[in-house]
Structure 1
């Protein structure tokens, strides 16, 4: 049966950060990404993206953007992290509001996949906690519940988050991935470095053309082209290996688009791939 996979690129917020955060290699000060002791002229505003995937085997949401609570109090939602990440959520931009606008209910989501659990990706979890299955990698879940500096565990309190285990495969910089539907159409790929359990996603149509959602392996197209790692990284060994793998994949003729989460050049749109069962 012929059908299609539709990938919606959504902007579910904005984040103001220091210029040192997107491009670690451009700054000699290793703490530049924190923005501490640096002026406002170094601040830039970047999109926070989520992705909705209409797949014949079920609706998938990737990441959640900001909770609507940031509109009233960033401090209450982010605490001390507001010194590094300032959150903005224009009216109509929350993941809940955009699902409604597209005609979907939260309970329609078969899989909510969290690329990782940093605040700009997990803050909106309470808005979509009634999704059928909420998944994050085992590595990320373990790190997020022990590292209180980089994560805010209250964001998933009361949310039924389940973990998945990467399998040994030929995909990714660490040769680890997880086939969501067991048909090769949606593969979750282990791309550590920015976080311990960072997950990218390779979506492939029946014509063997693919879209690579590369999460925070890099912050912009420049990151991928020039192999520039983010300022925030738990492993300076794995971060360049992951962004280099994405760079290599982006040159593959079967990859029609490579998308990173905070690219200011990426606008909301829909990408369609053919699908045959």
Structure 2
């Protein structure tokens, strides 16, 4: 097994936007990535980053949101995989941490690859308005639901083991969206927790700091559920400091993860 980060762009922000107490003068580069997990039984992508139609997708979002979005797109995940000579027949599925635009935009570029979501997140795609406009560009037949039929995992009551060997395990972490998940990836030499948008910076998890009120009001659908998910993941981080916490948009979360698979 191995993992690789596929950087697809950056959204220029300040730390004040990222978490409560963040400095308005501290520059924060909100990275927009996909992560390739290579596995003997077939590979997966955690999220899909920005896609080739991101410009047209943004035009369907509110003007005020676009005004506050300083986006610098890079190469899409599909383009990076092709440039690396990656065999797409190895890609078994795309696993979403949640269905917001900056996590799913690149999924339509990878035609035919199943996109795995929880049942609440699939409903959210249909009913989420502008927040899930990019997700609705995915062909409905590609969306595949999975359930949390597994038992307790690191303090979370339910889990789903994708390969049956403990290497990639998801747990429910609702709040930011109804069906948000945390994805644990366990390599022989290293463990990772891809927490999606549970927090936007690792400091926020350690300090149990929620997003600023003006961000929560617009983007966090259930603040009470989000706080519960945040507290559970904080407990995991305190108990298992060897697990590398990877918030989707924190560049420091990806320290040590190589870019793109070799040919």
TM-score band by shorter chain is 0.7 to 0.9
The answer to which structure has the higher helix fraction is 2
Q: Among 101, 115, 132, which residue is 1:119 paired with?
A: 101
Q: Among 67, 92, 108, which residue is 2:51 paired with?
A: 67
Q: Which residue of 2 aligns with 1:260?
A: 247
Equivalent runs, 1:116-195 vs 2, <5 Å: 116-131=98-113, 133-152=114-133, 153-157=135-139, 160-167=142-149, 169-171=151-153, 175-195=157-177
TM-score (norm 2): 0.82
Q: Among 77, 88, 109, which residue is 2:72 paired with?
A: 88
> Which runs of 5 or more structure 2 residues have no equivalent in the other structure?
259-263
C-alpha contact 1:193 1:236 (8 A) present in aligned 2:
yes
CA distance in 1, matches of 2:220, 2:155: 16
C-alpha contact 2:176 2:221 (8 A) present in aligned 1:
yes
RMSD, aligned α-carbons: 2.8
> Which runs of 5 or more structure 1 residues have no equivalent in the other structure?
28-39, 272-277
Q: Does the alignment pair 1:55 with 2:39?
A: yes
CA distance in 2, matches of 1:18, 1:139: 31
Residues 179 and 168 of structure 1, relative CA distance in 2, 3 Å threshold = closer
C-alpha contact 1:17 1:45 (8 A) present in aligned 2:
yes
Q: Could you tell me how far 1:250 is from its partner in structure 2? A: 2.0
CA distance in 1, matches of 2:152, 2:254: 31
Aligned length: 249
Q: Secondary structure at the match of 1:251?
A: helix
Q: Which residue of 1 aligns with 2:234?
A: 247
Q: Which residue of 2 aligns with 1:76?
A: 59
Equivalent runs, 1:24-39 vs 2, <5 Å: 25-26=20-21
CA distance in 1, matches of 2:16, 2:57: 22
C-alpha contact 2:31 2:251 (8 A) present in aligned 1:
yes
CA distance in 2, matches of 1:42, 1:258: 21
Q: Which residue of 1 aligns with 2:261?
A: none
TM-score (norm 1): 0.78
Q: Among 2, 10, 15, which residue is 1:14 paired with?
A: 10
Q: Does the alignment pair 1:238 with 2:234?
A: no
Q: Among 188, 197, 208, which residue is 1:227 paired with?
A: 208
CA distance in 2, matches of 1:84, 1:137: 30
Give the ranges of 4+ consecutive aligned residues of structure 1 lying more than 6 Å apart after TM superposition.
40-43
Q: Does the alignment pair 1:217 with 2:217?
A: no
C-alpha contact 1:107 1:130 (8 A) present in aligned 2:
no
CA distance in 2, matches of 1:270, 1:42: 25
